[in-house]
Chain A
Amino acid sequence: QLQLQESGPGLVKPSETLSLTCTVSDDSISSDDYFWAWIRQPPGRGLEWIGSIPYRGMTYYSPSLRSRVALSVDTFNNQFSLKVNSVIAADTAVYYCAKSLGRGESSRAFDFWGQGTMVTVSS
């Protein structure tokens, strides 16, 4: 069973950069069959899609976060990463990484998720 695990600092200061990594338990990250996504959940609120990146090809970002977010893939370490620049208190959330069902139409659903990691933006 595929496993995903988020890691990174739990506390980030305002205006700094939030950096998280998702480690995938096998080498499926090197497959052209999937997208790898970041999704977050602010306290007491619903889920918010941040973006999705394939091994090769175009990366897609949420329009509301596109100017501050970057996703990348590291196939050597079976990892993919998220960076959010110039963070504010509203970026405080549980951050999840996830794998899509497939490419194309199947890229819009996620069948494996990490357990999530809480990131607080505070000075």
Chain B
Amino acid sequence: QSALTQPASVSGSPGQSITISCTGTRSDVGGYNYVSWYQHHPGKAPKLLIYEVTNRPSGISLRFSGSKSGNTASLTISGLQAEDEADYYCSSYKYGDSLVFGGGTKVTVL
């Protein structure tokens, strides 16, 4: 069982917006602004989409945005595209100099 809780799957039609949640505790998500999000196409290297809750690395589409409220962080994908079909993982710094990940969310573009 992963430290952070994500929905197993989320789906949407092309052009729609979807949101993936990532729920932790005050010791990780709720206590620090060090939540990251990764996109993973199976067989490929994971890609960093969001770091420190809301920041996008250079080259990442504006369609990806992050937010946080209390112990839950969220990733929103706007204007859903076929290429967005992948697994998405959140991670967070955890008290005690540790890092924890979520169990992953499979995004399906209908």
Residues of A within 8 A of B (CB): 4, 39, 45-49, 52, 60, 62-63, 96, 98, 101, 105-106, 108-116
Interface-located stretch among B67-75, B76-84, B98-106: B98-106
Rounded to whole angstroms, the CA-CA distance of A47 and B40 in the bound complex is 11
- For B85, the chain A residues whose CB sits under 8 A away are none
Whether B36 contacts A63 by the Cβ 8 Å rule is no
Task: Tell which of B6, B43, B48, B99 touches A115, judged by Cβ atoms closer than 8 Å.
Answer: B43
Counting chain A CB atoms within 10 Å of each CB, the highest count among B45, B101, B103 belongs to B45
- On chain A, the residues within 8 Å of B23 by CB distance are none
B93 at the interface (CB under 8 A from A): yes
Quick one: which of B34, B46, B91, B100 has the most chain A CB within 10 A? B46
Question: Is the beta-carbon distance between A49 and B48 smaller than 8 angstroms?
Answer: no
Query: When A45-B103, A46-B2, A62-B98 are in contact, do A106 and B51 touch as well, CB less than 8 Å?
Result: yes
Report how far A111 CA is from B38 CA in the complex, Å. 9
A48 in contact with B57 (CB, 8 Å): no
Asked whether A113 and B100 contact (CB < 8 A) given A47-B89, A101-B51, the answer is: no
Contact B34 A108 (CB under 8 A): yes
Within 8 A of A (CB), among B19-60: 34, 36, 38, 43-48, 51-52, 57
